[in-house]
């Protein structure tokens, strides 16, 4: 007796339904965790910096809530815009009153500014434990763009995007090499996290300049993790695609 013929359309529909069910289950678990004010204290007594936090539906703001939930003691927030960040800060302060938040306005692609932020962290707290270089840019409107790119618009996006991450690596890794026994840091080390994109690791996920700049960020993470291993500094890149944060 022969085998029953396979209904390809029905099989495909079952697979899609299974994937959607799994996705919904994962998203429900994530939403349940993100709505909780109790974490596992994974960042207890840690001090660090997050850049790119102004979007109320962005990765930066969602990460801020996660870091505070995990017990970070002091988080310095860096952004050059103030559309949503003040409201975000008030929400986080209400949910996580034990985490100190300090807002520093400025450009994460400006090396002297980033160095000054890290110098301030060291001066205030004695140590830097994490640096999340999340800032990025897709496009600036009209006059703002003209003021930022000089005479070469072709260089604007890839150079600015990559500069943000390279500057973070350069100054954060040095600061994390420092110890401060009197404030609880007896060994060098820390964690640097860079936001890249799926476009940095595969084709057809973004335009040329965007993809190339994100590929460079992946390379920064791979090379940096090797170069800074002797300092006990970890470097990782996250490569999200479209993402649901709320």
pLDDT for the residue numbered 173 = 94
**% of residues, the chain, pLDDT over 70:** 86
pLDDT for the residue numbered 64 = 96
pLDDT for the residue numbered 161 = 65
User: Strand 233-238 to strand 47-51: parallel, antiparallel, or no bridges (unpaired)?
Assistant: unpaired
Q: Which helix (H) or strand (E) holds 50?
A: strand 47-51
Report residue 164 CA to chain centroid gap. 11
Segment 149-173 mean pLDDT: 70
Instruction: Please give the residue that has the higher pLDDT: either 147 or 115.
Output: 115
Task: Give the single-character DSSP code of 79.
Answer: E
Which of the four pLDDT bands, split at 50, 70 and 90, describes residue 61? very high
**Distance between CA atoms of 65 and 34, rounded to whole angstroms?**
8
pLDDT for the residue numbered 11 = 86
pLDDT digits (tens, 9 = 90+) for 73-130: 999 999 998 889 999 999 999 999 999 999 999 999 899 999 999 999 999 999 999 9
- Cα 54–58–63 angle (5° rounding)? 90
pLDDT digits (tens, 9 = 90+) for 166-198: 899 999 999 999 988 988 888 999 999 999 988
**Distance between CA atoms of 48 and 227, rounded to whole angstroms?**
21
Q: Which helix (H) or strand (E) holds 142?
A: helix 142-148
Instruction: Please give the residue that has the higher pLDDT: either 230 or 147.
Output: 230
Look up the pTM and report it. 0.82
**Distance between CA atoms of 220 and 242, rounded to whole angstroms?**
22
Provide the mean pLDDT of the chain.
86
Q: Are 81 and 54 in contact (CB under 8 A)?
A: yes
Q: CB-hemisphere CA count at 13 Å for 204?
A: 0
Q: Are 42 and 129 in contact (CB under 8 A)?
A: no
Beta bridge partners of 133: 194
């Amino acid at each position: 007796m022969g085998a029953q013929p396979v209904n390809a359309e029905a099989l495909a529909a079952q697979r899609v339904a299974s994937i959607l069910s799994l996705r919904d289950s994962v998203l429900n678990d994530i939403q349940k965790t993100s709505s909780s004010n109790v974490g596992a204290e994974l960042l207890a007594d840690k001090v660090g910096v997050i850049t790119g936090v102004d979007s109320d539906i962005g990765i930066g703001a969602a990460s801020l809530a996660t870091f505070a939930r995990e017990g970070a003691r002091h988080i310095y927030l860096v952004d050059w815009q103030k559309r949503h960040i003040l409201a975000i800060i008030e929400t986080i302060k209400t949910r996580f009153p034990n985490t100190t938040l300090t807002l520093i306005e400025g450009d994460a692609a400006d090396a002297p500014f980033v160095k000054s932020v890290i110098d301030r962290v060291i001066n205030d707290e004695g140590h830097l434990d994490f640096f999340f270089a999340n800032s990025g840019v897709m496009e600036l409107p009209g006059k703002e763009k003209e003021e930022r790119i000089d005479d070469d618009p072709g260089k604007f996006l890839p150079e600015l995007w990559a500069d943000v991450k390279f500057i973070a690596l350069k100054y954060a890794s040095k600061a994390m090499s420092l110890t401060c026994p009197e404030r609880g840091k007896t060994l060098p080390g820390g964690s640097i996290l860079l936001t890249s994109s799926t476009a940095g690791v595969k084709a057809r996920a973004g335009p040329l300049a965007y993809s190339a700049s994100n590929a460079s960020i992946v390379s920064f993470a791979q090379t940096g993790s090797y170069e800074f291993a002797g300092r006990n500094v970890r470097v990782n890149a996250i490569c999200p695609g479209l993402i649901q944060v709320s």
